[in-house]
Amino acid sequence: MGRYRPLWYNDRMNKLLKEVIEHAENWPREDQEELAEYAREIEARRTGIYTMSDGERSAVLKGLAEADRGEFVSDELIAEADKRLEG
């Protein structure tokens, strides 16, 4: 008897995934990042843990630093945005 494999394991799918990854190595960086984002979203859905991308982490740190400096969007700007959303 061969080694145990989980019921969800599928040789064909495993091969397909490997082929996609091999092809993706030649894709433009933006497309590779998009594929990685999809994979992060799937992993987050499966595990309940989301791992931020470097870009997301940088944006969060920038926002926190702005908040620490007291740099917030004005109430007037928020009101303008609300009016546009209300149509």
pLDDT band at 33, cuts 50/70/90? very high
The confidence score (pLDDT) of residue 9 equals: 58
pLDDT digits (tens, 9 = 90+) for 6-17: 555 566 678 888
* Cα distance between residue 63 and residue 12, in whole Å: 44
Q: Where does 26-72 show beta strands of DSSP type E? A: none
pTM: 0.52
> At 48, is the secondary structure helix, strand, or coil?
coil
pLDDT digits (tens, 9 = 90+) for 61-87: 999 999 999 999 899 999 999 988 887
For the chain, the domains span 9-51, 52-87
